């Protein structure tokens, strides 16, 4: 497969077109950003750890019947994915209160949410990814009613699969963000699932093992991502 021109550079990944019009290459970079890009640092090995962890998780999701864009690993920090028409919406499920919901609703961190709660956000860094509802998504044409329903169903299906997977690794899946796109008429999971876009706590100590270590200046960011990968059984060599 030949990598052609750069299509899009995000905050942690660059997307390339290839000589296959149906496939893109994602390059996971070492860049780490928070606060909508206001804080950016390079963390050695992060691109590789995230690429391999993402591949591992996408394959688990596929095995559980969730259709994803993931095709195959191409190199230590690159993967081949299906070319999706991305929906500009972030889907968030929360099992435990943390992050923006605590600020927004004035609730304490660490509350178990039963049932898990769900939120949509518009992907728009300049506006700090505002929260939107299903009516906004349909009224502004970001996605249809059926696509909204599919995103919700699949985001909760991911929760069932990954809560159990992480629990086996002694980790609590606190919350996560997913993005979807259209592929041959279906709504398919795109983007990535890594510790950059979810919260993971040690089940016993509740130590944070995700990007909150970077956001909160706790240090040991890549070491925490490697710990997660190691516990899941991801091959990092």
Chain positions contacting ligand 5GP, by CB under 6 A:
90, 92, 99-101, 129, 175-177, 196-199, 211
Nearer to ligand 5GP, 129 or 207 (CB): 129
Nearer to ligand 5GP, 23 or 29 (CB): 29
Q: How far apart are CA 191 and CA 68, in angstroms?
A: 9
Pairing of strands 186-189, 171-183: antiparallel
- Nearest approach in angstroms of CB 39 to ligand 5GP is 13
Cis peptide leading into residue 115 (ω within 30°): yes
Nearer to ligand 5GP, 59 or 129 (CB): 129
Residue of minimal CB distance from ligand 5GP? 99
Which contacts qualify for 133-139: CB closer than 8 Å, 24 or more apart? 137/89
Q: How far apart are the first and last CA of the chain?
A: 23
Nearer to ligand 5GP, 127 or 230 (CB): 127
Q: How far apart are CA 200 and CA 220, in angstroms?
A: 14
Nearer to ligand 5GP, 48 or 209 (CB): 209
Which are the contacts of 79, defined by CB distance < 8 A and separation ≥ 6?
A: 25, 26, 28, 51, 54, 55, 70, 71, 72, 73
- Nearest approach in angstroms of CB 125 to ligand 5GP is 7
- Nearest approach in angstroms of CB 168 to ligand 5GP is 20
- Nearest approach in angstroms of CB 4 to ligand 5GP is 26
Residue 32 sits at the vertex; the CA angle it makes with 100 and 209, to the nearest 5 degrees, is 60
- Nearest approach in angstroms of CB 34 to ligand 5GP is 9
């Amino acid at each position: 497969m030949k990598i052609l021109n750069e299509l899009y550079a995000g905050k942690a990944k660059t997307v390339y077109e290839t000589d296959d019009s149906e496939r893109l290459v994602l390059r996971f970079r070492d860049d780490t950003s928070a606060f909508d890009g206001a804080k950016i640092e390079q963390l050695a090995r992060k691109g590789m750890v995230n690429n391999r962890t993402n591949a591992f998780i996408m394959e688990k999701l596929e095995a559980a019947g969730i259709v994803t864009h993931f095709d195959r690993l191409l190199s230590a920090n690159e993967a081949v994915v299906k070319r999706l028409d991305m929906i500009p919406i972030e889907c968030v499920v929360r099992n435990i209160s943390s992050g923006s919901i605590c600020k927004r609703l004035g609730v304490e961190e660490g509350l178990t949410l039963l049932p898990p709660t769900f939120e949509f956000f518009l992907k728009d860094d300049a506006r700090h990814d505002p929260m939107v509802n299903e009516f906004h998504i349909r009224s502004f044409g970001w996605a249809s009613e059926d696509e909204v329903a599919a995103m919700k169903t699949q985001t909760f299906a991911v929760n069932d699969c990954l809560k159990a997977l992480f629990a086996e690794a002694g980790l609590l899946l606190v919350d996560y963000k997913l993005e979807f796109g259209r592929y041959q008429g279906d709504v398919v999971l795109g983007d990535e699932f890594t510790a950059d876009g979810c919260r993971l706590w040690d089940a016993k100590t509740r130590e944070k093992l995700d990007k909150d270590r970077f956001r909160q200046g706790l240090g040991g960011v890549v070491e925490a991502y490697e710990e997660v990968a190691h516990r899941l059984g991801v091959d990092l060599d």
